[in-house]
Amino acid sequence: VEIEDSEAVGISSIISNLITVFPRNILTAIPNDLFSSFVNCLAHLTCSFGRSAALEEVLDKDDMVYMEAYDKLLESWLTLVQDDKHFHKGFFTQHAVQVFNSYIQCHLAAPEGTRNLTANGVASREEEEINEIQEDDRDLFSDQLASVGMLGRIAAEHCIPLLTRRIKENVMDKSHRCDPYLGDPYLDCKSCDFSLLEDRVTRLHGQLQRQQQLLAPPVSGSVDNKVLDDLYEDIHWLILVTGYLLADDAQGETPLIPPEIMEYSIQQSNDVDINTTLQILGSPGEKASSIPGCNRTDSVIRLLSAVLRASEVESRATRANLTHLLSPQMGKDIVWFLRRWAKTYLLVDEKLYDQISLPLNTAFGADTEGSQWIIGYLLEKVISNLSVWSSEQELANDTVQLLVALVERRERANLVIQCENWWNLAKQFAQRSPPLHFLSSSVQRTLMKALVLGGFAHMDSETKQQYWTEVRRPSKQCGRLVAFVHFPGIKHILLHKNTKQRPLNF
């Protein structure tokens, strides 16, 4: 049945009201076959509206009716899958896979995805216009991402491996496997060879190497940014989905690992080689697939490793003087994800959980080499970003927010202050030396907040005194400025023509 544009919002509103307004026992009282058809139809409509919403974005329509309808249906799914009182576990798994896959497809470039493709499958434009005042995708589509992330958790055994590593599925014929409403839940292919985030990062690394060779003398050829732009946009959306899949933004609450993620990691732990998992985690400079035994790794940790790999590719590109080929947006996505992840997983407190995954606890628990290593790595990332991207205010702000996340809990701060890089950062900030001196005032304030929080970590009295002496040095300089401003007769001095003709040295 073809649905007109004008009907989409009305249909989605009816479905939303059925699910969210009416008592749930009325909905579940209908015959099982009829209810199954309703849920299958809901999955079909959700994917259809999602594709139409993506097309609206490509055509830059003013009236985004399908986007509004899509949002309503995703909210309906969120209500359904969280109701474990009326629906048994696994009831919505196949539907969750379909909606999750559809969302991923709509945000990936061809040939795996359909981003920026018109209805006839033709790319609409070579370069997407960027509006400087447009809201960031992670804020603009936060509700969508939250719903898709929850659906991904419901089908974690499919969605997490889909994002991390190459897996093969022998998919049976559709007539034997799938409901006619649903289609193929595995990205509509008979023999699937999936590799999303790891694959995109590997391709990005290779593309940057090729661009470096093109730019090197005596060749000095031109650079085609189209491939890079597509890769950056793919990685952008994959990191956003991964962030919402693995963790919640717990405002004012203790961040906890989602129970579905914890359960999934526990279930696969018998088949996991912890040493290989830790090796992949600690080797962001290497492709995970090149490490022997990579197929016996914890998928949740491997998903983090894929983001760390993207971070390492970015860092190596800056050291190779390829910063002009990098995407500040990808840099923002990486530190946003790392902050969200660190608040939930880093130094995981096993007392907060009934059961805890051995791989997660071994890698990120208190007093583990994994947690110490990753804190050191994240500090290096912060310092690198503040040096390379000081002119990118949003990226610099996300970077110092990551720094705040590392020290806002005393247990993490105790490890942070053991790192030499932390002390170097504090001294560099206190001395007002570049590049930190070039950061915007708001970023410097947040950096100061992180340094102050770090001062509450466990230190002996002599070390603490030394630390506070360094950290308070900028405030002493501000105190001298305040005294200067309130100096008697300062207004007359500043207005004197001889004073105005020469700079003041504070």
Residue 191: its H or E element? strand 191-194
Cα separation, 143 vs 432, whole angstroms:
40
pLDDT tens-digit series, residues 116-163: 876 555 555 544 444 445 678 999 999 999 999 999 999 999 999 998
**Sign of the dihedral defined by the CA atoms of residues 399, 402, 408, 411, in that order:** negative
Residue-wise pLDDT for 75-86, tens only, equals: 999 999 988 888
Neighbours of 41 (CB within 10 A): 15
Distance CA 348, CA 151 (A): 24
Q: Minimal CA–CA distance to 241: which of 64, 102, 396, 344?
A: 102
Tokens representing 119 are: 């209805």
Q: What is the C-alpha to C-alpha distance for residues 30 and 50, in angstroms, rounded to an integer? A: 28
User: What pLDDT does 259 receive?
Assistant: 96
- In three-state secondary structure terms, 192 is strand
Q: What is the pLDDT of residues 396-420, one digit of tens each?
A: 999 999 999 999 999 999 999 999 9
> Are 46 and 74 a contacting pair, CB within 8 Å?
yes
Helix axes 93-106, 142-154, angle to 10 degrees: 140
Most confident of 168-177, 255-264, 454-463: 255-264
At 345-367, the pLDDT tens digits run 999 999 999 999 999 999 999 98
Ordered by start, the domain boundaries in the chain are 1-88+103-125+137-156
Q: Where are the alpha helices (DSSP H) in 290-368?
A: 299-319, 328-345, 358-364
Report pLDDT for 325: 95
d(CA 291, CA 280): 7
Per-residue pLDDT band at 233 (split at 50, 70, 90): very high
Mean pLDDT of the chain: 85
User: Which residues is 168 bridged to in the sheet?
Assistant: 193
Q: What integer pLDDT is reported at residue 122 of this predicted model? A: 55
Distance CA 124, CA 55 (A): 10
Residue scoring higher pLDDT (7 or 190):
7
Given a cut of 90, is residue 505 above it in pLDDT?
Answer: no
Checking if the pLDDT of 257 tops 80, the result is yes
Task: Give the closest residue to 99 by CA, choosing from 164, 185, 8.
Answer: 185
Please report the pLDDT score of residue 431 as a whole number: 87
CB atoms within 10 A of CB 272: 20
* Alpha-carbon gap, residue 477 to 211, rounded angstroms: 46
- Residue 49 in tokens: 């509206």
Give just the sign of the alpha carbon dihedral 241, 245, 246, 249. positive
pLDDT band of 22, cuts 50, 70, 90: confident
Q: Could you tell me the CA-to-CA distances from 338 to 189, 257, 310, 418 in Å, in that order? A: 33, 14, 12, 20
| Mean pLDDT of the region 330-357 | 96
pLDDT score for 28: 85
Cα–Cα distance for residue pair 149/156, rounded to 1 Å: 10
Cα distances (angstroms) measured from residue 23 to each of 18, 20, 27, 76, 78: 9, 8, 7, 14, 16
Buried b (16+ CB within 10 A) or exposed e, 198-232: bbbbbbbbebbeebeeebeeeeeeeeeeeebebbb
Q: Is the pLDDT of residue 502 over 60?
A: no
Q: With CA atoms as reference, report the closest residue to 128 among 239, 241, 229.
A: 229
Q: Is the pLDDT of residue 43 over 50?
A: yes
SS3 of residue 124 by DSSP: coil
pLDDT of residue 506: 39
- As a whole number of Å, the CA-based R_g of the chain is 26
pLDDT confidence of residue 219? 60
Top pLDDT among 474 and 228 is at 228
**Range name among 7-16, 20-29, 73-82, 497-506 with the lowest pLDDT average:** 497-506
pLDDT tens-place string over residues 456-480: 999 999 999 989 888 887 655 554 4
| Contact present, 450 and 378 (Cβ < 8 Å) | no
Mean of pLDDT values over 169-179: 36
| Mean per-residue pLDDT, 369-397 | 96
pLDDT for res 164: 77
**Residues 6 or more apart from 297 whose CB is under 8 A from it?**
272, 273, 276, 277, 280, 288
* pLDDT band at residue 498 using 50, 70 and 90 as cut-offs: low
pLDDT of residue 501: 46
Are 31 and 84 a contacting pair, CB within 8 Å?
Answer: no
pLDDT score for 311: 98
CB 168 within 8 A of CB 110: no
